[in-house]
Structure 1
Amino acid sequence: MAKLYLVPTPIGNLGDITLRALEVLKMVDLVAAEDTRQSLKLLNHFEIKKTLISYHMHNEQGKSEDLIARVRNGENIALVTDAGTPGISDPGTIMVQKCITEGIEFEVLPGATAFTTALVYSGLDTSKFLFRGFIPRENKERNELLDDIKDRTETLIFYESPYRVVDTLKILKDSLGNRSIAVCRELTKLHEEIYRGSIDECIVYFNEKVPRGEFVLVLSGKTKKEIEQEKISEWESLSIEEHIVKFIDEGFTKKEAIKKVAKDRGVPKSEIYKHSTEI
């Protein structure tokens, strides 16, 4: 039975293509490519002759129907992007959704993905992380994203273009604070560069040189120390009575509120109870 194959391609170094990816590209009847010119270079390098058709973010809806019809008619098709895994901040997700909806068999091959490479390079926490792709350009969407991630404790990962990387670093500093970050550029390529430091240090560094290549930003999440400090800031201006009422207003019982205030302030519950008798 014919099927669709989502085939990852190297993110820079052509040697990173897998043997399985090459086998599939040689076997399929057709290659749907994000940029046919870019994919032609890859196919020529490995001496693979295939018909190429364009499949990108601006024609995904229409072309997905065409690809579904071709698979139904018995054609095996490989879907590739310029670099990395289809569907990861690249065309492919819509095609997968349509295959699932219409019962079309598809296969996802493992392979190169820039954000996992950058995450390991960063030296930051890899046990939990949040990948958010490209930061939106529109202020409203960008502000919604920043508000959503500002209190996350996971390592944060973003893609960025060389034309916006310095401005994006400034936005992240203003919104999230001067956190630790790894700025990864031209991964797996000849001029690969990993710059680690604070966001401020990265802004200075990349302001002094013309940024080139594709960037991955790996940013530390909010630390437990920052969270604790913010909790203290929330109540340090309150009296003990106001602190108790604050928790009661949040839905806790008076007994629970006394316990939480005692924990916040590091004093015995009996001391807090004295201030609760009139509440």
Structure 2
Amino acid sequence: MLYVVSTPIGNLKDISLRALEILKSVDFILCEDTRVSKTLLNHYEIDRPLKSIHKFNEQREIAFLVDELLKGKNAALISDAGTPLVSDPGELLVSACIENNIQVTPIPGASALIAALSCSGLPVIPFQFLGFVPKKLQERRVFLFQALIYAGTSITYESPERIVETLEKIDEIDSDRIVVIGREITKKFETFYRDRASVIRQQLLDTPPRGEIVLLISPSDKFHNALTNVDSKNLVEYLEDKLSLDRKEAIRLAADLSLKDRRAIYKELIPD
């Protein structure tokens, strides 16, 4: 059996009794970084064999791990912090276990995105989680635009080194948008910022942030309705201008946003 075990996102006390029980009983524990996981395991005097599984080795380790589990061994999958698979390794392993009829059982617990959402003051239904904001500038522009046009709350992870630039891009697209930033959640210096992107950006310029950051973007019916109801020509031109996209990229994104066929948009722009 494979147990998918949630671990604390900062405060070591944020772990369930069941999680501790499972970690002490399994044959081995799969983790991202053994050095990070040992801090938690040593704190609770858990001495089980550790094996590192991360994005660079997960694919090649699957056959061995599935074989061990098929032999009747039990394993726990943990991440450096929070719930495994949520912007962390493990998806390939869980899928392989299911394909091989190996039972996969969740041991729920802490999750940075849910913790941030619960304290954000933003609508909790609907929401979408988008993972980490892309590093490349053009990909980031499109990513943020798609978050901003969503009809609910959008949640992403961002690094402290790039959060100021990300807030700047949000402000360029929609200067009125309210965002929330949760920093170092559950830790000593936990901080929440709630304001327009430009205001928080200035605060972070004055006091550069450190540690893990969760970024939440509020929904905007006005922005969503304005862009989803506009005609294809104006939408494509808007995307070209606002996101610095070329015509082909703008048409592709416009098709995704309007749920129209790409060829139909081409015909609207270039009639026969």
Counterpart in the other structure of 2:170:
172
8 Å CA contact 2:149–2:223 kept in 1: the answer is: no
Counterpart in the other structure of 1:190:
188
Q: CA deviation at 1:146?
A: 3.3
d(CA) in 2 for partners of 1:129, 1:174:
23
8 Å CA contact 2:150–2:224 kept in 1: the answer is: no
Q: Residue 117 of structure 1 is aligned with which of 106, 110, 115? A: 115
Q: Which runs of 5+ in 2 are unaligned?
A: 235-257, 259-272
Counterpart in the other structure of 2:245:
none
Q: CA deviation at 1:149?
A: 3.1
Q: Which amino acid aligns with 1:215?
A: I
d(CA) in 1 for partners of 2:148, 2:179:
15
User: What is the number of residues matched between the two proteins?
Assistant: 233
Q: CA deviation at 1:100?
A: 1.6
8 Å CA contact 2:127–2:152 kept in 1: the answer is: yes
Counterpart in the other structure of 1:274:
none
Counterpart in the other structure of 1:17:
15
8 Å CA contact 2:4–2:106 kept in 1: the answer is: yes
Q: Which amino acid aligns with 2:188?
A: L
Counterpart in the other structure of 1:27:
25
Residues 155 and 231 from structure 1, CA distance in 2 versus in 1: closer, same or farther, beyond 3 angstroms? closer
Q: CA deviation at 1:230?
A: 5.8
Counterpart in the other structure of 1:220:
218
Counterpart in the other structure of 1:85:
83
d(CA) in 1 for partners of 2:84, 2:48:
19
User: SS where residue 11 of structure 1 aligns?
Assistant: coil
Q: CA deviation at 1:229?
A: 5.5
Residues 209 and 75 from structure 1, CA distance in 2 versus in 1: closer, same or farther, beyond 3 angstroms? same
User: SS where residue 191 of structure 1 aligns?
Assistant: coil
Counterpart in the other structure of 1:95:
93
Larger Rg: 1
1:141 pairs with 2:139: yes
d(CA) in 1 for partners of 2:51, 2:100:
22
Q: Which amino acid aligns with 1:114?
A: A
d(CA) in 2 for partners of 1:17, 1:5:
15
d(CA) in 1 for partners of 2:122, 2:131:
18
d(CA) in 1 for partners of 2:136, 2:111:
26
d(CA) in 2 for partners of 1:77, 1:91:
15
Q: Which amino acid aligns with 2:96?
A: K
Residues 232 and 9 from structure 1, CA distance in 2 versus in 1: closer, same or farther, beyond 3 angstroms? closer
Q: Which amino acid aligns with 2:74?
A: N
1:66 pairs with 2:77: no
| Matches for 1:258-277 after TM superposition, within 5 Å | none
Residues 154 and 231 from structure 1, CA distance in 2 versus in 1: closer, same or farther, beyond 3 angstroms? closer
Q: CA deviation at 1:140?
A: 4.5
Q: CA deviation at 1:231?
A: 8.0
Q: Which amino acid aligns with 2:119?
A: Y
Query: Normalising by structure 2, what TM-score?
Result: 0.80
Q: Which amino acid aligns with 1:198?
A: R
d(CA) in 2 for partners of 1:64, 1:153:
38
Q: Which amino acid aligns with 2:130?
A: R
d(CA) in 1 for partners of 2:224, 2:138:
26
8 Å CA contact 2:4–2:105 kept in 1: the answer is: yes
1:209 pairs with 2:203: no
Q: Which amino acid aligns with 1:83?
A: A
Residues 140 and 201 from structure 1, CA distance in 2 versus in 1: closer, same or farther, beyond 3 angstroms? closer
User: SS where residue 132 of structure 1 aligns?
Assistant: strand
Residues 35 and 233 from structure 1, CA distance in 2 versus in 1: closer, same or farther, beyond 3 angstroms? closer
8 Å CA contact 1:182–1:217 kept in 2: the answer is: yes
Q: Which runs of 5+ in 1 are unaligned?
A: 238-249, 251-279
d(CA) in 2 for partners of 1:189, 1:136:
26
8 Å CA contact 1:122–1:181 kept in 2: the answer is: no
8 Å CA contact 2:151–2:224 kept in 1: the answer is: no
d(CA) in 1 for partners of 2:70, 2:46:
24
8 Å CA contact 1:181–1:219 kept in 2: the answer is: yes
Q: CA deviation at 1:232?
A: 9.1
